[in-house]
Amino acid sequence: MTLFDSPAFEGHEGVHTFFDEKTGLKTIISVHSTALGPAAGGCRMWAYPDAEAALTDALKLSRAMSYKNAMADIGLGGGKAVIIGDSRTQKTPELFEAFGRAVDAVGGRYWTAEDVGVSPEDLQNARKQTRYVAGLEGHAAASGDPSPVTAEGVFRGVKLCVERAYNRDLNGVTVAIQGVGHVGAYLAEKLHAAGAKLVIADVNQTALDEIAAKTGAKIVSTDAIFDVDAEVFAPCALGGAVNADTLPRLKGKVVAGGANNQLATPEIGRILFDKGMLYAPDYVINGGGIINVAGEIRALEAGGAFDPAWVEGKLSTLMLTLGEVLDRSVAEKRPTHEVANEMAKARIAAGRS
């Protein structure tokens, strides 16, 4: 299959590959769209089996960033970088400096940040060679850990979905949280403060014990989390949590959480909708993190300081957008993820024209 025929290609503006002989850097910087502003999305370092797998991942991730950034209304397009390599054994400062040169060569059409396998320290090395880096620490524009903002957006989104599906507030509602890492842990605390009852699962016992002590959450196994008698299932771990095996086991009407790629396939979203359940599209409800990063890019561009009030304004708007997705889904009798995709594409097309 050639690049332009790949189903993941879908109108990418640019796909840039770079090789650095000295450090062995192999990176693909994929720019899906700059219609709404420079493309922004993290850099992932992963031991892909081959370049084709890396390319497919880069294309899918950058398109997803276009949609996420369009829905978050942050004046940014969508892009992503992947570095082919094992982040545990193949990282060097020089490799990330070479990556910085690659980002710089894209000429400001792509801003990079953290993703799986890439740390703030790595980005610091990239920053020596380019200014198009967000997610650094220790300067006035720095946005810090995006997880609390992501969790705040997810919390408000869960609240909205419970209002829509059950016509009640969160007090006394049971929420099953899959994964209490960065986002899941903050979410658990917010839900607890709002009076929700929590059931949690994770592979990390220490994280579970900590959250259970703080919130009184009940701990269940990673498999049993799908069978919990809960109004809300909140995926906050890996992708694909809602699939042909797990969907029939969910007892509640709401699926709303922080994880990316919650639906194993688009068809699962259709089945969920036909069952009368409500799914908060993942890239809309979890957009708080990229809003936080956008706050940093904005401050860097202006040479000013990070402005939390701007972030809060965008987060509030994002929740109105989520409400619009839910409204249109009801009015048009269509699954929420289809409505969200259509809205994102329309926003990008409007930016282009």
Per CB under 6 A, the segment of 51-59, 93-101, 231-239, 312-320 that binds ligand NAD is: 231-239
Shortest distance, CB of residue 17 to ligand NAD, whole angstroms? 25
Which of 40, 45, 72, 183 touches ligand NAD (CB under 6 A)? 183
Amino acid letter, 334 = R
Per CB under 6 A, the segment of 35-43, 202-210, 247-255, 268-276 that binds ligand NAD is: 202-210
Shortest distance, CB of residue 21 to ligand NAD, whole angstroms? 33
Q: Reduced to 3 states, what is the DSSP secondary structure of residue 175?
A: strand
Asked if 181 interacts with ligand NAD (CB under 6 A), we say yes
Contact 129, 94 (CB under 8 A): no
Residues 92-151 that bind ligand NAD (CB under 6 A): 146-147, 150
Q: Residue 203: in which H helix or E strand, if any?
A: none
Active site (catalytic) residues: 80
As a whole number of angstroms, the distance between CA 313 and CA 190 comes to 19
Backbone torsion region of residue 181, taken as left when φ is above 0, otherwise alpha when ψ lies between -120 and 50, otherwise beta: beta
Asked if 201 interacts with ligand NAD (CB under 6 A), we say yes
As a whole number of angstroms, the distance between CA 26 and CA 170 comes to 48
Give the tokens for residue 73: 């209304």
Q: Nearest-CB residue to ligand NAD? A: 181
Asked if 296 interacts with ligand NAD (CB under 6 A), we say no
Shortest distance, CB of residue 41 to ligand NAD, whole angstroms? 11
Per CB under 6 A, the segment of 2-10, 19-27, 161-169, 233-241 that binds ligand NAD is: 233-241
Q: What is the DSSP string of 109-136?
A: SEEB-B-TT--HHHHHHHHTT-S-B---
Kindly tell me which of 200 and 272 has the beta carbon lying closer to ligand NAD: 200
Kindly tell me which of 27 and 286 has the beta carbon lying closer to ligand NAD: 286
For 56, residues 6+ apart whose C-beta sits below 8 A from its C-beta are 6, 8
Kindly tell me which of 24 and 181 has the beta carbon lying closer to ligand NAD: 181
Shortest distance, CB of residue 338 to ligand NAD, whole angstroms? 21
Asked if 207 interacts with ligand NAD (CB under 6 A), we say yes
| Number of chain residues interacting with ligand NAD (CB under 6 A) | 24
Contact 192, 215 (CB under 8 A): yes
Q: Reduced to 3 states, what is the DSSP secondary structure of residue 222?
A: coil
Binding mask 315-344 for ligand NAD (x = CB under 6 A): ------------------------------
Amino acid letter, 311 = V
HSE value, Cβ hemisphere, 13 Å, CA-based, for 145: 8
Torsional sign, CA 262, 264, 270, 272: negative
Asked if 182 interacts with ligand NAD (CB under 6 A), we say yes
Asked if 31 interacts with ligand NAD (CB under 6 A), we say no
* Cβ neighbour number for residue 129 with a 10 Å cutoff: 18
Among residues 303, 299, 305, which one has the least CA distance to residue 74?
A: 299
Contact 147, 289 (CB under 8 A): yes
Which of 28, 35, 191, 237 touches ligand NAD (CB under 6 A)? 237
Shortest distance, CB of residue 257 to ligand NAD, whole angstroms? 8
Task: State the residues that interact with ligand NAD by CB under 6 A.
Answer: 146-147, 150, 178-184, 201-204, 207, 222, 236-238, 258-260, 286, 289
